Structure 1
Amino acid sequence: MPGSEARIAQGALEGLAARAFSGLGVPDAEAGQAAAVLVLAEMMGISTHGIARVVTYGKRLASGGIDAGARIESTRIAPAFVQLDGGNGLGPAVGARALSTAMESAWESGVGVTLCRGSNHFGAVAPYCWQACEAGFAAIVMSNTTPLIAPTGGRTPAVGNNPIGFGFPGPEGRHVIVDMAISVAARSHIRRAAEAGEPIPDDWATDAEGRPTRDASAAMRGMLMGIGRHKGYGLALAVDMLAGVLSGAAFLTEVADLSREPGASQNLGHAFLLIDVSRLLNAAELAERMDRARDMLTSVMPVDPDSPVRLPGDRALARMRRARTEGIAVPDRVLDDLRALANGKEEVPKTLD
């Protein structure tokens, strides 16, 4: 039945996704790491960066845009500082390795920094932040991306809609997780409006000439608008400076646009910064302070009584808990594509463009 779905246990879905990546030539260890990142995103409700990305990445792997057999190499350049070269490998596998090296540094030194180059799209930021929080670390995670935002006063895109996230460990898994890109609205929202022939708010995007537009079709040919106008541009640039310029990756307009060059090597950069909070506060002190901060916010009177104040990440973590007990809802067509890859079908499925 069109639109039908099945509920799959976390371990089973990770195994299927890992076998799909392995079927595309990715070594088993990296395939498992990438699968775990994407399944976590799916469990959090971030389906745009979830399990369907196996097929998206699969097309790049099959075309050679991503090197399935890439060697991910790390160099410790200071006690708490690692530079990692992804070798044009699978982005979530590079991200998982970067998180692991930053954790090792933070365990040893109290803080850990890993800067990556030679990578690709690494999925959503939230799963990495959650994994760091579960291990007792506060985290800042970011990546640069294809330019979609014009610098203030400009009329051509030069800065990516670069994601940045923060994670702060809370008691009993009540972590605070911020996962955001820099644009006012995601490009997927604009695409849906264009397909439906509906207008968009005039602060979402510009046309190809850099003028604010409510025409979603014109916006698809134009650029995204950053949050806070010049402030969003500044924040996106700051991410690119750290994740791109300083890491040795491609940056700004050097990053290939895959819609125009689908087989290009992007050489994306990521940055992972971790703090071992146990060096600052013992477990009881941290729990008390995090709970007190939560109470200060959730006790604020809501505008709508049916929509109480939440902390960033609350909704995603609730979805994750539900997915653990009820299974992960996955569309049948996505499962069919994963099974085809896992069974060694040569052609990458053409759905989920």
Structure 2
Amino acid sequence: MAPLRLSRGDIEPVLVTGLLRRDFTHERAALCARLFVEASLDGVYSHGLNRFPQFIGMVERGVVRPDREPSRVRSTGAVETWDGRLGPGNLNAWACMGRAIEMARDRGVGVVSLRNTNHWMRGGSYGLRAAGSGCIGVCMTNTQPNMPPWGGREAAVGNNPLVIAAPNEPYPILLDMAMSQFSYGKMNVHRQRGEKLPCPGGYDLDLQMTDEPGLILESELATPMGYWKGSGLAILIDLLVATLSGGSTTAEIGERGEEYGISQVFIAFDLGRVGEKAESRRVLEAIKSSLRRTPPLREGGAVRYPGQGTWQRRQQNEREGIPVDPGIWQRILQTQG
């Protein structure tokens, strides 16, 4: 079935109503809805509207606490630790990157670690917030175990996403990636469309590599990105976020049976304080120029910087409407009751 094409004006009021019915204040419901919609507007459907029904389910089960806001636990120079108190993950993450930006304005850099929070939905949203404020933003999170370490046959590490963003016009440079070859959300989108993955992305229940997303979602054994490299990086992200925040590790999250109480870190570098903005622009343009001069591998292809394709998808979706799976939209409408 062809996707619906809806404007953000069609979608946001529906999401806000569903959130208000579950004890969000209007201000927090509006921001929460905006973050979901903007993820899909940028083409990150797996962590945008597709996730909203699942998010509502976590609210109804009491895993996500709508009225909980993060609180500061300790502060040492340019480093702070906050407790998310199991509040909405996207609102907690938005607030903590905002705090990192505030500190970077004063000190050049701000580091905020966050424990006891929930899934942040689209991690790129917080990198974009930093870049839009003239900062380089770095964000990372751990997850429940959903990926075997290199050489292992059981899920024991998380696919622990990493986000790096930098100011750029018309759209920031944005790297937003899980440590698995494909995120679970992305694999679910391929499954819904009846598509295979572009390349093998994990193991089936017989521990055979496969490009069938449904088999990987069943086994929950995604392949680490870059094999041993992605596995190693995932382990070190887990170590970093849990150590800085004093929060849970991937193994401890996995003991709960459901993903909550996770650990995250948000870093902002104010380019006006740690260096010269003109020099930062020169470096950025030199890198982009080098990429543009690189001949494509295949005729008609293109070499792009991270975020360039996202900007193109945003422009298309602003013109034509955001594509929404009809089944997902029906589930979203059911949250109104």
Return the TM-score normalized by structure 2: 0.88
- Segments of 5+ residues of structure 2 without an aligned counterpart are none
Equivalent position of 1:8 in the other structure: 7
Identical aligned pairs, as a percentage?
Answer: 25
Once residues 166 and 305 of structure 1 are traced to their aligned partners in structure 2, the CA distance between those partners, rounded to angstroms, is 30
Shift in alpha-carbon separation, 1:247–1:268, aligned structure 2, 3 A: same
Structure 1 outlier segments of 4+, above 6 Å: 192-202
User: 3-state DSSP class of the match of 1:148?
Assistant: coil
Equivalent position of 1:183 in the other structure: 180
Letter in 2 for 1:150: P
Equivalent residue runs for 1:60-209 within 5 Å: 60-170=58-168, 172-187=169-184, 204-208=201-205
Equivalent residue runs for 1:278-297 within 5 Å: 278-297=272-291
Letter in 2 for 1:40: E
Letter in 1 for 2:203: T
Once residues 191 and 324 of structure 1 are traced to their aligned partners in structure 2, the CA distance between those partners, rounded to angstroms, is 24
- 199, 207, 210: which is aligned to 1:214? 210
Does structure 1 conserve the Cα–Cα contact (< 8 Å) formed by 2:159 and 2:179?
Answer: yes
Once residues 194 and 277 of structure 2 are traced to their aligned partners in structure 1, the CA distance between those partners, rounded to angstroms, is 53
Once residues 203 and 298 of structure 1 are traced to their aligned partners in structure 2, the CA distance between those partners, rounded to angstroms, is 29
Letter in 2 for 1:21: L
Once residues 338 and 115 of structure 1 are traced to their aligned partners in structure 2, the CA distance between those partners, rounded to angstroms, is 32
Shift in alpha-carbon separation, 1:20–1:269, aligned structure 2, 3 A: same
Shift of 1:194: 7.5
Once residues 276 and 182 of structure 1 are traced to their aligned partners in structure 2, the CA distance between those partners, rounded to angstroms, is 27
Once residues 312 and 190 of structure 2 are traced to their aligned partners in structure 1, the CA distance between those partners, rounded to angstroms, is 29
Once residues 120 and 165 of structure 2 are traced to their aligned partners in structure 1, the CA distance between those partners, rounded to angstroms, is 17
- 230, 234, 258: which is aligned to 2:228? 230
Letter in 1 for 2:201: W
Equivalent position of 1:303 in the other structure: 297
Q: What per-residue deviation string (whole Å, max 9, x for no partner) do you get for residues 276-298 of structure 1?
A: 01124444333232112100111
Equivalent position of 1:53 in the other structure: 51
Once residues 107 and 89 of structure 2 are traced to their aligned partners in structure 1, the CA distance between those partners, rounded to angstroms, is 27
Equivalent residue runs for 1:269-348 within 5 Å: 269-341=263-335, 343=336, 345=337
Once residues 98 and 261 of structure 2 are traced to their aligned partners in structure 1, the CA distance between those partners, rounded to angstroms, is 20
Shift in alpha-carbon separation, 1:224–1:268, aligned structure 2, 3 A: same
Shift of 1:120: 1.1
Does structure 2 conserve the Cα–Cα contact (< 8 Å) formed by 1:130 and 1:175?
Answer: yes
- 16, 30, 35: which is aligned to 1:37? 35
Letter in 2 for 1:318: Q
Shift of 1:271: 0.9
The more displaced of 42-51 and 283-292 is 283-292
The more displaced of 328-337 and 79-88 is 328-337
- Segments of 5+ residues of structure 1 without an aligned counterpart are 346-353
Equivalent position of 2:262 in the other structure: 268
Once residues 66 and 167 of structure 1 are traced to their aligned partners in structure 2, the CA distance between those partners, rounded to angstroms, is 27
Return the TM-score normalized by structure 1: 0.84
Does structure 2 conserve the Cα–Cα contact (< 8 Å) formed by 1:41 and 1:50?
Answer: yes
Shift in alpha-carbon separation, 1:311–1:194, aligned structure 2, 3 A: closer
Shift of 1:31: 2.2
Letter in 2 for 1:214: T
Shift in alpha-carbon separation, 1:238–1:78, aligned structure 2, 3 A: same
User: 3-state DSSP class of the match of 2:245?
Assistant: coil
User: 3-state DSSP class of the match of 2:75?
Assistant: strand
The more displaced of 249-258 and 119-128 is 249-258
